[in-house]
Amino acid sequence: MSPSLFLSLLVNGVAMGMVYALLGMGLILLVRAVGILNFAQGDLMMFGAYICACLLLDFELPLYLLIPIAFIWFALLGVIFMFTIYWPLRKATYSQATIIATMGASIILQEVAKIIWGSQPRSMPHLVLNSEGDPAVLQIGSASLQWQYLIIIAVGALIIFLITQLFEKLYVGKMMQAACQDSYAANLLGVPSILTICATYIIVAIVCGICGYLVAPVFMVRSTLGTLQLRAFAGVVIGGFGSIKGAVIGCLLVGIVESFSTMAFSGYKDVTVFLLLIIFLVFRPTGLFKGKIGDKA
Amino acid sequence: MRDNLNTTRRTIIKFGVLLVAVVAFYFLVSTLCTSLYTMMVVDIALIYSLIAYSVSVLLGMGGELSFAGVSFMGGGAFLLANLTTGRLGPTLSPVVSFLLIIPVFIVIAFIIGLILLRLKGTFFTFATIGLVQMTFAIYNNYKPLFGGADGIAGIPTTEIFGTKLMNYNDWFPVLLILAVVVGLIVERIRTTPMGRSLAACRDNETAARVLGVNVYMTKVLAFTIAGVLSAMAGGLYAMLTKFVSADMFTYASSTKYIIMAMLGGVQSTVGAFLGAFIVQVLPQILSAFEGFLQLFWGIAIVLLMVFMPEGLAGIVKSLGRKFRAKNKKKVAAAAAAATEEGVK
Amino acid sequence: MIKISNLHAYYGTIEALKGINMEIRKGQITCLIGSNGAGKSTLLKSISGACNRSGSIMYKDNADISNLSPQKVARLGITHVPEGRHVFPGLTVKENLEVGTINWHGFFGRKPYQKEMEEVFALFPRLKERENQLSWSLSGGEQQMLAIGRALMSHPEVLLLDEPSMGLAPLVIAELFEKIVEINKEWGLTILLVEQNAKLAMKTADYTYVLERGNITVEGPSAEVRSNDMVIKSYLGKFANTK
């Protein structure tokens, strides 16, 4: 394999891995907040992408307006999602019931997107374009790396850094962790649990929305964009569920493996990724990194 | 002595009720289904009920959420397609191929179960999702065995004991009997030692282990049963529609089957049967709302989980409980009144 | 300090407390004993606002707390340490203590809590040793100390302790209860102690209430209640007061 091909595949893989990591990070935050897996995570991203497409293409907003307005819409999405899906089920006895409810939410999000914006995929321009209006490319030797991928990697890394700082260093983050880990005790101490859980959902929705905006130019905005979440799930599981760090590393791994196996057997790249997942789990049933909490799974 | 008589009497009554219900159902459906299309919907619902049973076994009895049903369904369907169209060499009749599905998938499902059930809870669920994605990719891409995107067509008409099952109407009684018989077997499993061990594993794994239950093997067995049921459903589907292709066995379909079982009540076999029917037939009735159908489906799923996680069977059970509680109160009140009278 | 009149508490349709009258006096350790299911935890939850209740609960003779949410009750200076410890497993000892300050520190506040933390560490030196350890890995006794220490970080005037001895070894319990007495005598906190270990509770407390199936059956200074025949029979055993 030529070094330039290797570099291309690597960059592609890391970029996609970042996308999965952003989704996966949100997944972990929600697992900690409500203890269930959000099977609508990818669809939150998809909806966010549609919102951005709408603001960019239909309203033709410049970037400095698009970002704050989009954030507001993402936050709204997060709040609605929390109160319709999480809130009624917070005391559910059947843990599978909550998982299936999020599957229902996934369908609802896809259908609503179709109803509002139609079922035709929309194409979003790359963030950086060259003089001819084509996606800009960085040339390293004979490798052509799309700037979009590099931006995804940079922005993704920044967001992951900020979120980890928030949750693990700042006072507010510790309150949110506390509310997530034991909302009963947190309530008794005076932590406004509903508020913090709501805040967690808002943050997750914003991260998903940004992720959607980043990935839209690559995949086109369509209602099935959410299926990317399955790779994020794989990454989170491989990473061990316990920490954001594990989820990020697991997802990057998945992204890279997927990229290189597309080269090797394009149609079967799913097989490689998920076979890796299964083999991995068989030999390390609790994932790469042990969770913070003894045997949480 | 008395007890034995009572239980035998109750079983006879139960069977009688079942027989009457089945016959009534048969006549009801026959009269209501005026076209081949409606008959097809019913036939497919009966086939789906087998998959709903499989969910009932693995999730309801065993407490494990698995998406692997579609993988096995595809496996059974493609196996039958290959055998009946002679792609693998020998050509076998549909009935023989169908019967072959059972032993073949007992082995396959067992092996896969051995691997996957080393994982706990959500990890297991994820692994099944991974399995579905893998099998779909293979079904969709490997032309020699699975025909790629075009699928496999030309499965011959099924012939049982000399009668050819030419159309959906012919298939109906066969499928109905099959669905009922398999349902009875599944229900029976609930009361066997294995079924009880399974329930113990579901409710409290540690306690079950301490009592000597081999949790791992019990769950693997449940997984095998579920896999075989799904494979059988796949084979029947191929026999019915005479065509198989990979896009019938996607991750999206697997949610449908789980909902079927949960709608009816994941711990009830009858519930699984009813759930399969409702999920299949309802879209037909509501076909006027074409565009919004999927949206309703999504909303219905959420509402179902919020208000009725135990499904229809759960509602029936709680109504029964309330009824019996009212009865008890009435009897107690009557007894109290009677004693008062007696004392007076 | 806290006057309770005609308190009824419900779990759904089940009435757990059937009209309780109690008084928790300032500066005292009041204990509530009773068998399982008597409603002891429910009483604490009624005060802290964590369950459905009706009736009158007056705090410091001028604040009616019978309808407040747990957060508001905590802000008034009544902190509830729930049964089963409930430490935040994924946070370190130090972080657990930090969360205890939410009441007066505010979400984005900058008020220092060094002093409070040092006082808690002085009271529970074992916690200081483990200050950066994740709390899920602490022993039961250490977790209980952490839970109480965390409550102390919130500037409480009243401490509601729910079965602190549950699941702990006798030596640990003895040490813990010495600290509880210290919190009352040196720190000046009013304490309401709920315990299944009746003997220990009555030894520690100044005033005792006995709760049976939602009703207070006996009350009085601990020494009196301890020699009450019915109490001896039900909770202390025939030989309780003999050597």
Whether A98 and B301 lie within 8 Å, measured CB to CB: no
Q: How many contacts, defined by CB atoms under 8 Å, are there between A and B? A: 124
Contact A192 C71 (CB under 8 A): yes
Asked if B301's CB is within 8 angstroms of A282's CB, the reply is no
- Nearest CA-CA distance, residue A189 and chain C, Å: 6
Mutate to test the interface with B, among A41, A91, A93, A94 (most CBs of B within 10 A): A94
Residue A281 has its nearest CB partner, among B123, B259, B301, at B123
Give the closest of A177, A190, A294 to C91, CB-based: A177
pLDDT band at B109 (very low <50, low <70, confident <90, very high): very high
**Does chain B reach chain A with at least 3 CB pairs under 8 Å?**
yes
Inspect the interface and report whether the beta carbons of A292 and C107 lie closer than 8 Å: no
A59 by Cβ neighbours in 10 Å (0-12 / 13-18 / 19+) ranks as exposed
Residue tagged 């019996």 (tokens): B324
Write down the pLDDT at residue C140. Answer: 87
A150-166 burial code (b ≥16 CB/10 A, e <16):
bbbbebbeebbeebbee
DSSP string, B157-195: PPEETTEE--SHHHHHHHHHHHHHHHHHHHHHHHHSHHH
Nearest to A237 among B126, B134, B301 (CB): B126
- Name the burial class of residue C99, with classes exposed (0-12), middle (13-18) and buried (19+) by CB atoms within 10 angstroms of its CB: buried
Contact A186, C79 (CB under 8 A): no
CA distance A243 to C173: 35
Q: Is A191 on the interface with C (CB under 8 A)?
A: yes
Tell me: the pLDDT tens digits for C121-157? 988 888 888 888 888 888 888 999 999 999 998 888 8
The answer to whether A181 contacts C80, with C-beta atoms less than 8 Å apart, is: no
Asked if A189 is an interface residue toward chain C (Cβ–Cβ < 8 A), one would say: yes
pLDDT digits (tens, 9 = 90+) for B164-215: 777 777 888 888 888 888 988 988 888 888 888 888 888 877 788 888 778 8
Q: Verify whether the Cβ–Cβ distance B133 to A99 is below 8 Å.
A: no
- Please report the pLDDT score of residue B239 as a whole number: 87
The Cα-based distances of B143 to B125, B138, B139, B140, B295 in angstroms read 29, 9, 8, 8, 35
Q: How far is CA C75 from CA C71, C153, C157, in A?
A: 6, 12, 10
pLDDT digits over B215-246, tens only?
888 899 999 999 999 999 999 998 888 888 88
Inter-chain residue contact C89 with A181, CB threshold 8 Å: yes
Residue B103: pLDDT band by 50, 70, 90 thresholds? very high
Token reading at C192: 């309401």
Spans of chain A below 70 pLDDT:
1, 33-35, 91-94, 130-133, 242, 285-297
Note the pLDDT of residue A296. 34
Are B119 and A96 in contact (CB < 8 Å)?
no
Q: Does residue A295 sit at the C interface (CB-CB below 8 Å)?
A: no
Which residue of chain A has the CA closest to B115?
A282
**CA-based nearest distance B100→chain A, Å:** 27
C86·A182 Cβ contact <8 A: yes
First-to-final CA distance of chain A: 40
CA distance A174 to chain C (A): 7
Distance, in angstroms, between B86 CA and closest chain A CA? 26
Contact A88 B127 (CB under 8 A): no
Q: Which of residues 306-335 of B touch A (CB under 8 A)?
A: 306, 309-310
What ranges do the domains of chain A cover? 3-223
Whether residue B166 lies within 8 A of chain A, CB to CB, comes out as no
CB contacts, 8 Å: A186 with chain C = 88, 99
Chain B environment of A92 (Cβ under 8 Å)? 305, 309
**Residue A171 touches chain C, beta carbons under 8 Å:** yes
Contact at CB, C70 and A292, closer than 8 angstroms: no
Contacts of B170 (CB under 8 A, 6+ apart): B163, B164
Amino acid at C214: G
Q: What is the mean pLDDT of residues B120-143?
A: 84
- Other CB atoms within a 10 A radius of the CB of residue C11 amount to 12
Task: Kindly report, residue by residue over B27-84, the tens digit of the pLDDT.
Answer: 888 787 778 888 888 889 889 999 999 998 888 888 888 999 999 999 999 888 888 8
Listed residue (B275, B271, B253, B251) closest to B316, CA to CA: B271
Enter the tokens of residue C186.
Answer: 């040196």
> Between A97, A115, A237, which is nearest B123 by CB?
A237
Q: Chain A closest CA to B111's CA: distance in Å? A: 13
Backbone torsion region of residue A39, taken as left when φ is above 0, otherwise alpha when ψ lies between -120 and 50, otherwise beta: alpha
ipTM value: 0.85
pLDDT recorded at residue B342: 63
Q: For chain C, list residues with pLDDT below 70.
A: 109, 236-243
How high is the pLDDT of residue A244?
A: 81
Give the CATH superfamily of C2-87+158-236: P-loop containing nucleotide triphosphate hydrolases (3.40.50.300)
